[in-house]
């Protein structure tokens, strides 16, 4: 198994509160990604990082921010959670820029009530 740990695994939060999800890797991989998975939509990219302090937006980045202060940690923050952000969130990592595989964490199930 790729050394990826997501925390928490499950969270219930109230609308309007900030939430931070953590992805920790032990593989020293350069690229890290946050995806959300919703029925009928598959996996959609929220944000990704190509190095410490280097991040960029994915296709569904509104309402989310990220930070990467260390190679091993990639944080996803919901600045003010909304019910539409109820989803399963996956972190992924990959080694190089091109022609490489991505490995996934086990996911965080977030419910916004």
Binding mask 50-89 for another protein (x = CB under 8 A): x-----x-xxx-----------------------------
Strands 108-112 and 10-13: parallel
Tell me the site size for another protein, rule CB under 8 A: 29
- Token pair 């990604």 is at which residue? 33
Strands 10-13 and 54-57: unpaired
Best CA proximity match to 18, nearest among 89, 76, 92: 76
What are the φ/ψ torsions at residue 106 (nearest 5 degrees)? Answer: -85, -5
Is 25 a binding residue for another protein by CB under 8 A? The answer is no
CB of 4 to another protein, least distance (A): 8
Please identify, among the stretches 20-28, 63-71, 74-82, 90-98, the one whose residues bind another protein according to the rule CB under 8 A.
90-98
CB of 42 to another protein, least distance (A): 4
* Inter-CA distances, 56 with 20, 22, 73, Å: 18, 17, 16
State the residues that interact with another protein by CB under 8 A: 31, 33, 35, 40-45, 48, 50, 56, 58-60, 90, 92, 94, 97-107
């Amino acid at each position: 198994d790729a050394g990826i740990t997501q925390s928490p695994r499950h969270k219930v939060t109230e609308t309007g509160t900030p939430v931070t999800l953590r992805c920790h890797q032990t593989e020293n991989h350069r690229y890290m990604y946050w995806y959300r998975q919703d029925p009928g939509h598959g996996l959609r990219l929220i944000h990704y990082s190509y190095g410490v302090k280097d991040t960029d937006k994915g296709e569904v980045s509104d309402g989310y921010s990220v930070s990467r202060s260390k190679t091993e940690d990639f944080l996803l923050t919901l600045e003010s959670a909304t019910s539409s952000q109820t989803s399963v969130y996956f972190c992924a990592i990959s080694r190089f820029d091109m022609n490489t595989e991505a490995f996934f964490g086990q996911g965080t199930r977030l419910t916004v009530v």
